[in-house]
Amino acid sequence: MKYLVESCGYCGACVAVCSNKLLELTEIEIIIKEGCNDCGRCEMVCPLGALILEEDQ
Ligand code: SF4
Ligand code: SF4
């Protein structure tokens, strides 16, 4: 999962949909904890395209 901090609007939508609770919203960025299974849910809900699923990760 690639995260583009410069595109993030800190809306928190991605945090709410991660079923593994791996995403944490801080004041300056989203932190992606270990254990992501690339389910793509956060990418689908991000309104700003700040989360991008990458095949090779
Ligand atoms: S791809 Fe899925 S598991 Fe990984 S951070 Fe996003 S919602 Fe969570
Ligand atoms: S859904 Fe997108 S814009 Fe909103 S906090 Fe997550 S990464 Fe940032």
pLDDT tens, residue by residue, 10-22: 999 999 999 999 9
Complete domains list, the chain, with CATH: 2-52 (3.30.70.20)
pLDDT of residue 42: 97
Distance CA(2)–CA(31), nearest Å, equals 11
Higher confidence at residue 54 or residue 2? 2
Instruction: Report the atom number in ligand 1 closest to the C-alpha of 38.
Output: 1
pLDDT of residue 27: 93
Among 14, 18, 26, 32, say which to mutate for ligand 2: greatest number of ligand atoms within 8 Å of CB: 14
Helix/strand/coil for 54: coil
For the chain, give the percent of residues with pLDDT over 70. Answer: 96
pLDDT of residue 56: 57
Reported pTM: 0.92
CB 45 within 8 A of CB 14: yes
Residue whose structure tokens are 């299974």: 37
